[in-house]
Structure 1
Amino acid sequence: MAIRTIVKHPDPVLREKAKEVTKFNENLHKLLDDMVETMYEADGVGLAAPQVGILKRVFVLDCGDGPVEFINPEIIEHRDQQFENHPEGCLSIPGLYGDVRRHLWVKVRAQNRHGETFEFEGVDLTSRCIQHELDHLNGVLFIDIADRVYPAKKEEGE
């Protein structure tokens, strides 16, 4: 595994639509392993392949229950909306947060690293993370859809 460089806004790769994955091989497995390691190193909860310069429909997340890998994901159901008290940030846009309206609950259909289809349900932070990472695969950034964007508050001692 290796730490990859996270692409920062305004790099144009972040605005491109990622391509469907058709080869489930060792190269994909290495990408997934590297993405998980990179996400943890950056103290993130999610990371999409375009954020490491790879235009593939792949993202990983860990919202507290261990890493989950999503390949060729699509939201197949959603419910309700969450907005207040959920500031959203992005490893590719450090120093900014935004208020983004997201579904409170989503069901996703995706493939795993072996090409097997699975369904996954997310609520609250996990739902927000799924939607945020899926936006990355479509070239959309949270700053594009936020009701409000504002600087991150510095922690004491910084």
Structure 2
Amino acid sequence: MALRYIREIGDPILYKKAKQVEKIDEHILMILEDMAETMYNADGVGLAANQIGILRRLVVVDVGEGLIELINPEIILEEGEQIGVEGCLSVPNVTGEVIRPAKVRVKLKNHLIWQKQ
């Protein structure tokens, strides 16, 4: 595992569309491991691959209930609304109120279960 450089606001890669992961192989698993290590090292709760300069649809999240690795996530249902204060690892030292769905259903692939809802 390795720590990756977190791209900051203004970096063009943050504004580009990530590509779908076609094959889950050792390279993708290594990226997920690096993303998790980088996120934890930066005291974050979530990190997308483009934030470390990789244009693939990969996300890692840990909101205190253990690491979740998302491959090709797609939100298929949103319910309710909640407001909370959040920050972003790509926008250091800035927080603000954000409106989010209270509940989401996500379709994804991961290396343990190929397709899951």
Q: TM-score range by the shorter chain?
A: over 0.9
Write out per-residue CA displacement over residues 4-42 of structure 1, whole angstroms, 9 at most, x where no aligned residue: 110111101001110000021100010001001111000
Q: Hey, what does 2:59 align to over in structure 1? A: 59
Q: Which residue is 1:96 aligned to? A: 94
**Number of aligned residues:** 117
Alpha-carbon separation, structure 1, partners of 2:111 and 2:28: 7
For residues 15 and 98 of structure 2, what CA distance do their matches in structure 1 show?
Answer: 18
Deviation of residue 73 (structure 1)? 0.5
Displacement of 1:115: 6.6
- The answer to whether the Cα contact below 8 Å between 1:32 and 1:60 also exists between their aligned partners in 2 is yes
As a proportion of its length, which structure holds more strand? 2
- Hey, what's the Cα distance between the residues in 2 that align with 1:61 and 1:96? 19
- Structure 1 segments of 4 or more deviating over 3 A? none
1:73 aligns with 2:69: no
Specify the code of the residue in structure 1 equivalent to 2:111: R
Gaps of 5+ in 2: none
TM-score by length of 1: 0.71
Partner of 1:155: none
* Structure in which a larger fraction of residues adopt helix: 1
Conserved in 2, the CA contact under 8 Å of 1:24 and 1:114?
no
Q: TM-score, normalised by structure 2?
A: 0.95
Over the matched positions of the two proteins, sequence identity in percent amounts to 49
